[in-house]
């Protein structure tokens, strides 16, 4: 059966999660720490994801904004910046309006023009996602924005991927699920979705229970790929 819709992870796939630290580091007030922004961005993202997995395993769900704040607090303490209240507030404000990757608007527009509905399935809570979508100017290309809050657990729990069929009324094999997180793409493949991993960093494939059917370097080739599926 051909693919009839594309569903995207949001953070790291459509939105550049390093953008907040990178933008803040370019400002004159950041001279004291600007050289460490890659470390802060990496630690922040790693802890943010680790906290989603640990909370899912522990059955201690909270929303994604809380784990985003908690991850930043860890990263700032690790960098010796945990006393900088203004920096923390600024980074969190920037995170709510992360830039989209350069190819995102055109890719979504091409898919929409081809008659393929596009949607987001994200760990983000609805207010976060609404703000990020509006800031990036991509709302007109999206048929749905789905949050894990409707499942009450973070990815990669199967209840999260089941939200796609409920929202789009399509069986899993008719949906291309696109994520820059290999573990996310693997879990989606295991659920039965046609999984596409956007491997922006040239990383090795995760060793998990399933593998994505397709691997891309960025989103640009996606419209041509799904037209052949």
C-beta neighbour count of 155 within 10 angstroms: 24
Distance CA 96, CA 118 (A): 21
9 is a catalytic site residue: yes
C-beta neighbour count of 190 within 10 angstroms: 17
Which two structure tokens, joined as six digits, stand for 148? 């894990």
Helix axes 64-78, 85-95, angle to 10 degrees: 140
* Catalytic pick among 9, 63, 73, 150: 9
Which two structure tokens, joined as six digits, stand for 212? 């994505």
Q: Catalytic positions, please?
A: 9
């Amino acid at each position: 059966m051909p693919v009839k819709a594309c569903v995207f992870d949001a953070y790291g796939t459509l939105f550049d999660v390093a953008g907040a630290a990178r933008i803040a580091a370019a400002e004159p007030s950041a001279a004291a720490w600007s050289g460490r922004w890659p470390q802060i961005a990496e630690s922040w993202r790693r802890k943010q994801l680790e906290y989603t997995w640990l909370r899912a395993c522990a059955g201690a769900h909270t929303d994604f904004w809380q784990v985003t704040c908690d991850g930043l607090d860890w990263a700032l303490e690790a960098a010796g910046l945990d006393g900088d209240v203004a920096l923390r507030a600024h980074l969190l404000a920037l995170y709510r309006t992360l830039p989209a990757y350069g190819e995102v608007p055109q890719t979504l527009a091409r898919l929409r023009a081809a008659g393929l509905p596009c949607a987001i399935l994200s760990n983000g809570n609805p207010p976060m996602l609404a703000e990020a979508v509006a800031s990036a100017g991509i709302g007109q290309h999206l048929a749905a924005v789905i949050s894990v809050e409707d499942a009450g657990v973070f990815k990669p729990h199967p209840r999260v991927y089941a939200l796609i069929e409920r929202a789009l009324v399509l069986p899993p094999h008719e949906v291309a699920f696109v994520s820059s997180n290999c573990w996310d793409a693997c879990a989606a493949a295991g659920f039965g979705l046609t999984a596409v991993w956007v491997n922006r960093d040239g990383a090795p494939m995760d060793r998990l229970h399933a593998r994505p059917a397709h691997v891309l370097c960025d989103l640009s080739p996606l419209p041509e790929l799904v037209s052949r599926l």
